[in-house]
Amino acid sequence: MADINVRIEEFDVVIVGAGGAGLAAAVQTGMAGLKTAVISEVYPTRSHTVSAQGGINAALANMDEDYWIWHMYDTVKGGDYIGDQDAMEFFTKNAPKTIIELEHWGMPFSRTETGNVYQRAFGGQTRNFGESVAHRACAVADRSGHAILHTLFERTLRSDIVQYVSYYSEYYALKLLMNEEGHAMGVVAWDMVNGGLHIFFSYAVIFATGGNTRNFRTNTNAHVNTGIGWTLCAKAGIPIKDPEFIQFHPTGIYGVGNLITEGVRGEGGYLLNAQGERFMKKYAPHVLDLASRDVVSRGMASEIREGRGVGPKKDHILLKLDHLGHDFIMDKLPGIWELAYKFVGVDCTKDPIPVQPTAHYHMGGIPTNINGEVVKWEGDEEVAIPGLYAAGECACASVHGANRLGCNSLLDLVITGKQAGFNAAKWIKEEKPVFPNPPEEFVAEKYAKDVMDKLNELFDGPEGSVTMDEIWEDLRDTMQANMSVFRIEEGMKKQLEIIDGYFEKFKNVGLTDKSKVFNTELVEYFDLESLLYVSKLETAAALNRTESRGAHYRDDYPERDDANWMKHTAAYLKEDGSVELEYKPVRTKPLTAPTFQPKKRVY
């Protein structure tokens, strides 16, 4: 038996993930004076929020007249009407004061001539319910994600918060603990640096584990974005809401996938096909390249499919921005210049950047209400699970519906993170729940036996006859082929069989590295396992939704079908590894605004 050290610690709140959402939550629990542990696979400033570029939406009206209700309308329409409108109202209404708060905390926003926060145009953002393009994205050059992540992290370093927030960096969460009544009671995690298990007991657990598109060939995600939050919750019996809605960002760098911000188009850049044609005028006659991302990605993919793609393989599109001028690009888009130059050798002040639609973001996730509480359904009724919260990309309050608008994700992570942290603190203080005090001696045996068994098997077992690379490489190709911008029944059915095959193969994967110190092979093992579950949930839900809505487009069902499909997917992972699908009502009633009724989406 491998000698696995177990340590037990007690906190008021455990936050899994230290990206923007986790840190926004930590600010709240820290300010409330609650002892908080933040567990993260990487040091907080290395989380993938850091890669966001364009900005964060709010109707601040610094550039032109703007109101939250216009922002809300755009968000509802962008989400193809399946978003929960109470959450969307809360989200857009609270956006301006969220930006002000970030500014007060030191976020180094770009500025206007008057010294106000600079705002740029972005896809799908309009004034007066679709009339003209809005300038709503508050930007820090093209490094808004870096700025927001550092600002939130730095906030937790202040003396009034730092004494309550403990960072467990380079800890990998392996299990969500729930008690017999179905309350969250803690997390089991692997200490990557020293080896060994930590069992964290707490009143409340907040998941903020971010995205998971590392299962696609070209994606904008970091190596750490493997969906462990989805997997741990799904294994604990919590359904994943709307996993079929996966956003493909129009402009990932061709071949490598690194993100080129939509801000390039917001500032006046545009897309060209092989014939040098501004093809977006065919797909979005009013706003062209600033249509919502699903529309632009489909436009690009259609051009490529019809033979008008660029390059010897006719498989990509060009993004032109040199006409913006050298000085403007270096002032407002310096990070883009660097990425294009480094990754494809293009000096974008002179030449266009080769781009392609690239897996980017999950609109769906761990189901929550507007308080950040994770919910389960009793019939059609949403019931909060005591002590369990989720925020940011891994969660789904459905503020993005079936397609997220650019710059709504940074807003999502600050607002839902804050909500989760604030409401967890409020619940602990007001409801005074009983602390999950387990019997000392048997804790590891009782709560982490399955995890221990797995680790022992991996450390003591054979190196395995299948390499992870074999499965992972193939997974990326097949998901890209069958689950990307255009989907069809035959392909998705095949993909489900292929995924089951991967699970069979995965049983024969072992570890070559038996060291307990910083074993990144072990981490990749759990990453890959998680991505297999994520892929299965996505594919099963996509196959069953026989309509096209937002980012989910089916060649065999090209129209939106409100009569039959105006409902959320709840995808359950069963113990035998199968996926069971239920459907739940959309919360169409906003808090105070009138409901925006479904209309045909035209951009």
Partner 1 sequence: MALNVGDKVVFKIFRYDPEKDKAPYYKDYEVTITRTGMMVLDGLNQIKWEQDPTLTYRRSCREGVCGSDGMNINGVNTVSCMSHIEDYNSNVLTIKPLAGFPIIKDLVCDFEDFLNKYYVVKPYLIEKTPPPGRERLQSIEDRKKLDGLYECILCGCCSSSCPSYWADPDYLGPSAMLNAARYVFDTRDEGSDERLDAVNSVHGVWRCHTILNCISACPKELNPTKAIAELQKEILKRKY
Q: Among 518, 562, 583, 586, indicate the residue that binds partner 1 (CB under 8 A).
A: 518
Please give the Cα distance from 571 to 589 (Å, whole number). 24
Q: Assess 342 for contact with partner 1 (CB under 8 A).
A: yes
DSSP output for 528-571: HHHHHHHHHHHHHHHHH--S-BTTB-BSSS-S--HHHH-EEEEE
Q: Among 64, 129, 435, 517, indicate the residue that binds partner 1 (CB under 8 A).
A: 517
Where does this chain touch partner 1 (CB under 8 A) — which range of 44-52, 121-129, 407-415, 564-572? 44-52
Token code pair at residue 304: 């490529």
Q: Assess 111 for contact with partner 1 (CB under 8 A).
A: yes
Query: CB of 123 within 8 A of CB of 265?
Result: yes
Q: Assess 223 for contact with partner 1 (CB under 8 A).
A: yes
Q: Among 155, 249, 265, 549, indicate the residue that binds partner 1 (CB under 8 A).
A: 155
Query: CB of 138 within 8 A of CB of 66?
Result: no
Of 120, 293, 404, 560, which one is the catalytic site residue?
293
How many C-beta atoms surround the C-beta of residue 27 within 10 A?
Answer: 24
Strand 270-272 relative to strand 317-320, pairing? antiparallel
Q: Assess 313 for contact with partner 1 (CB under 8 A).
A: no
Q: Assess 172 for contact with partner 1 (CB under 8 A).
A: no
Where does this chain touch partner 1 (CB under 8 A) — which range of 342-350, 402-410, 434-442, 487-495? 342-350
Angle (CA) 107-108-113 rounded to 5° is 125
- Clarify whether 293 is annotated catalytic: yes
Q: Assess 338 for contact with partner 1 (CB under 8 A).
A: yes
Please give the Cα distance from 457 to 381 (Å, whole number). 41
Q: At what angle do helices 468-482 and 520-544 cross, to 10 degrees?
A: 30
Q: Among 150, 241, 249, 362, indicate the residue that binds partner 1 (CB under 8 A).
A: 150
The residue (of 289 and 527) whose beta carbon lies closer to partner 1 is 527
**Bridge-partner residues for 381, per DSSP?**
378
What is the pattern of x (binds partner 1, CB under 8 A) and - over residues 45-84? Answer: xxxx-xx--------x------------------------
Distance of CA 443 to the CA centre of its chain: 33
Distance between start and end Cα atoms, the chain: 62
Write down the least CB distance from residue 238 to partner 1, Å: 26
# residues contacting partner 1 (CB under 8 A): 63
Write down the least CB distance from residue 90 to partner 1, Å: 21
Q: Assess 16 for contact with partner 1 (CB under 8 A).
A: no
The residue (of 140 and 402) whose beta carbon lies closer to partner 1 is 140
Please give the Cα distance from 490 to 543 (Å, whole number). 9
Write down the least CB distance from residue 536 to partner 1, Å: 23
Strand 171-178 relative to strand 184-191, pairing? antiparallel
Please give the Cα distance from 311 to 318 (Å, whole number). 10
Q: Assess 166 for contact with partner 1 (CB under 8 A).
A: no
Please give the Cα distance from 85 to 72 (Å, whole number). 8
Q: Assess 457 for contact with partner 1 (CB under 8 A).
A: no
Applying CB under 8 A, the residues found at the interface with partner 1 are 42-43, 45-48, 50-51, 60, 99-100, 103-106, 108-117, 140, 143, 145-147, 150, 154-155, 157-158, 193, 222-224, 255, 258-259, 335, 338-339, 342-345, 467-469, 472, 511-513, 515-521
| Residues with catalytic function | 293
